A and B are shown apart, each in its own frame.
Chain A
Amino acid sequence: MDNLKHKGIFRYFFNCLTILSAAFFTVLSIYCFKSEFIVQSSFIDFSFKFNALSLFFVIFISSVSVFISIFSIKYGEKYDKKPSLFIYSFLFILSMIILVISNDMLTFLIFWELMSIFSFLLVIYEGSEESRSAGFLYFLMTHIGTILITAGFIMLYLKTSSFSFDYYKGAAGIMILAAAITGFSIKAGIMPFHTWLPYAHPVAPANISAIMSGVMVNMAIYGILKFLFVFSSGSNSFLGIILLIIGALSALLGIMYAMAQKDIKKLLAFSTIENMGIIFMGIGISYWADIENFKSLEYLAMLAVLLHVVNHGLSKSSLFMGSGLIDKYTHTRNMEKLGGLSKKMGQLSVMFLIGVMSISAMPPLNGFLSEWYLYISLIGSVFTGNLYMVYFSIIAIALLSLAGAAAGAAFTKLFGITFLGKPRTANAENAAESHIVERIGIAIPVLLCIYIGVYPYQIISSLNAVIFYLTGGTVSSNPFSAVHVINARPFSLYAPALIAVAFTAVLLIVFLYLKSFSSDKKRIFETWACGLDEKNSKAQYSGGGFSSSIMKVFSSFYSSVSEINFEKDVKKYFRSKSVYTEEVNDIFEKYIYIPAGKIYLKISEIFNKAANSANINISLGYLFLSLIACFIIYIFIIR
């Protein structure tokens, strides 16, 4: 057995199994993409249904899983001693795939729970104190979410007296939607409920973080789409505005917190919160337009949502895999200890650069495409002239543009501090280029990012099937037809293929011009350091220094504590050592979660005392009382 472990048989077996089964699911789903059929298992009462929405998510989950499994064939080496990782991750992916095709409430909840449990086991996999506390927080939060989702489903059952999703169409009122959406937002890490995400995503092994951040959070989006566009009875459009504003706030705050991080994976985790916020904004507009009957606006916003799910999944998983390679070859995730990796890990740095450009929405790439559709739908919702939507979408435009610029700053910091400059410590200096299989795993999503960014028409025409399923309409996928926002008049056009061709052509002309009109002489010399001959790589700008001026302007978003310690009684400019510490606290955590946790502990202490001092009769009494309480709730509240 030990011998097998050392040879990594488990790693090869389970990764290949994942690749094969995920590839099977991908091919199957692409083959029957536009059809709809039902699978009923005979021996257990599970039922599955394939429709455009679930097939889209199956393709998405399984294709991203294929890249990640290729990556972890080699990356997983260091986890060979404890091969449970590979078994759990296989089951984790499988449970997500079954989750999106399940067609009744019990199947959905069972696989939702299995997904949560396997991801929890993967979060605590490394067994350190940090990962265990993160895992506990994750377990707690995700179960609060599950309770709310279950509550939503139970209310649906009481209304329709059926378990099957087929009977839920148009049955969900505002209470059901509110409960379910709150539950799903906890999984998506939307701003007031995000606290678990920046702890849980970084502590897992990198391939698992890639699945969690790139794929698992999107399961919440699946659930929300299902509730809002399939189950909703279409009663209240104000819910859409709430989603829009909450999404915009978490986009802005998420990226602002991302900018303050030192840990690469933590930065990426906060960026996931930002992107989930952007997706929520699109869902909010689309739902609002659905109810207020602005059809073309609804389709556009839905396209923005689905495209952003794909784009974020691709770029975020590639960035998490890249951060895993940095961790593996330098043994640190702290970017203040890195630097100059571009010379040691050349190909990885190119792929990382493209991933970073894609996620910070730089024009010829895919991230910009979905953000552009979102901007256009925001402008469209201003055009609707609805008294409230106009004002809220103006606020959302302001928040989104600020978040967009801040994303540029945050990811410049990530790439610049980690990959450029001089190595700051020995860790970075001794880095080596990663294995080819690992790089292939990252290269595929990166190439897809470029492909979708430059030529999105094929994927838009495929997404049209999903948009049709959810909203009953489609968006034009013709490269040169301008988009319409609310009426039939063409509003604007972003033709990525044209821009990409123009970009390449101009680049070529500039290159040729310089080739023929400038001198080829080149000299390699040292960097200018004010004439000093000092080889101190610590003299470079640090990551904290990079973001400090922006953080100072937006200081009301953070509750940061910083202090400088130095020796006393030494002349001011001749200190041999001074220590600067900075701690950035999450305002929600500091002012809501920690006080709430303290109150909860106090209350439970009181109950604990009461229960421990009691004998068996009092325990039975508690049981009896809770039974009575259940009956009372059943009689007076549910009826």
Chain B
Amino acid sequence: MNFNVQHLIFGTAQFFIIVVLAPFFAGFIHKLKQRARGQKGIGIFQFYINFNKLLKKELVLSKDATFISNIAPHIVLVSYLIILLMLPAFYRYSLLGVSSDVILIAYSLALATFFMTLYAMDQGSAFGGLGASREWFLTVLSEPSLIFVFISLAIYTKQGRITDIFYFIQKGAANAFLSGIHSGAVSIAIPFLLFISLFIVSISENARIPIDNPETHLELTMFHEANILEASGKHLGIYEYGSYLKLTVFLTVMSLILFPYMAVNIYQIPSALIIYVLKMIILCVIIAGVEIVNPKMRVFRVPNVLSVSFILSLIAMILSIRGF
């Protein structure tokens, strides 16, 4: 482990920039959707104001709540933050880059789900149990695809850490397209398949429209919102921020699959940052587009879509084992 002050400074800066930008991306998608429906819509920075306001509000706890209600929101938030500490969004050396194993990332997401569903069941509300049940229903179906996407990437590049994976793809692509050297692991089909697969997974994991509707306020149709129905005040604020962070995690991984460009030294950082934000905005537009075009689907049709995502990542894995 080589310790480097520059990596430390820029890794920290990268982490804080992503954390600060997260509500912006969520707000941007929201704004696009509202505009497309012909509504006037909220401002792009509304989610920052919401978060600030929720922190100032009074916390209402249920009579039946236990210690879980107090710790679960924090653990959910921290597990997303830990994943963001590992992700190389635009700078190759993220803070926890040494230990940014892909399976660890997938299981950290499961940790957040675990505590969020425990929170939902804590107050003895029927809606909480319903939300927890549906959340695990989705997780059981989408977790295999997520792990398959990550393991396909690992097999494709022969690297296990997410920083190394995307650096490897970046180097291979640069060699192939700029200087025409065929370095072995360049493919269009594999990232394409993984992108679509991860897109489906991220729609289901982030409670987006064909599968769930985050704006609904009818309890019987809720997935994600039913889990945090009892949350209020700062707990609700943390959960909301956590959902923006989760969206950002998925969008960042997708942006890296779409076009891996990470700065390796200080001079590339400005361009990498601009390209990162541009990629994220493109992805936000795609997600908003999908959300506008599609109606919400029946719960028991969700397995059909998620099984397709699983098989796409399986095909990507078959393609990537071709080499050996």
Contacts and interface: CB of A to CB of B under 8 A. Distances in A.
Q: Do chains A and B make direct contact within the complex (CB under 8 angstroms)? A: yes
A420 interface: yes
A494 B101 contact: yes
Interface string A512-530: 0010011101111111111
Nearest to A339: B124
Interface in B217-253: 219, 229-230, 233-234, 237-238
Contacts of A419: 66
A422 B161 CA distance: 43
Interface string B94-125: 01101101111001101101100110011111
Contact of B77 (A376, A420, A510, A518): A510
A529 B103 CA distance: 39
Interface stretch (A11-19, A357-365, A563-571): A357-365
Contacts of A408: 110, 113-114, 136, 139-140
B66 to A, nearest CB: 4
B124 A379 contact: no
Nearest to A360: B114
B314 A394 contact: yes
Taking residues whose C-beta sits less than 8 angstroms from the other chain, chain B's interface range is: 35 or more
A151 B77 CA distance: 56
A249 to B, nearest CB: 15
Contact of A506 (B85, B99, B122, B155): B85
Interface stretch (B143-151, B171-179, B261-269, B287-295): B143-151
B161 A493 contact: yes
A507 B58 contact: no
Contacts of A549: 133-134, 137, 299
B155 A420 contact: no
A529 B159 contact: no
Contacts, number: 255
B95 to A, nearest CB: 8
B130 to A, nearest CB: 6
Contacts of A397: 147-148, 151
B133 A402 contact: no
Interface in A463-487: 480, 482
A24 interface: no
Contact of A349 (B66, B103, B144): B66
Nearest to A519: B56
Contacts of B158: 383, 489, 491
Interface stretch (A235-243, A537-545, A616-624): A537-545
Contact of A492 (B96, B160, B230): B160
Interface in B273-301: 299-300
B154 interface: yes
A298 to B, nearest CB: 18
B61 A420 contact: no
Given A421-B124, A541-B121, 13 more contacts: A343-B64, A405-B110, A408-B113, A412-B114, A416-B118, A491-B159, A493-B99, A494-B103, A510-B78, A522-B59, A525-B60, A527-B62, A546-B133
6 contacts: A342-B68, A398-B314, A506-B78, A519-B55, A521-B58, A530-B219
**Closest 5 pairs between A and B when the two form their complex, measured CB to CB:** A541-B129, A492-B160, A416-B121, A421-B124, A405-B143
Interface of A: 339-340, 342-343, 346, 349-350, 353, 357, 360-363, 368, 371-372, 375-376, 379, 382-383, 385, 390, 394, 397-398, 401-402, 404-406, 408-409, 412, 415-417, 419-422, 480, 482, 489, 491-495, 498-499, 502-503, 506-507, 510-511, 514, 517-519, 521-530, 537, 539-542, 545-550, 552-553
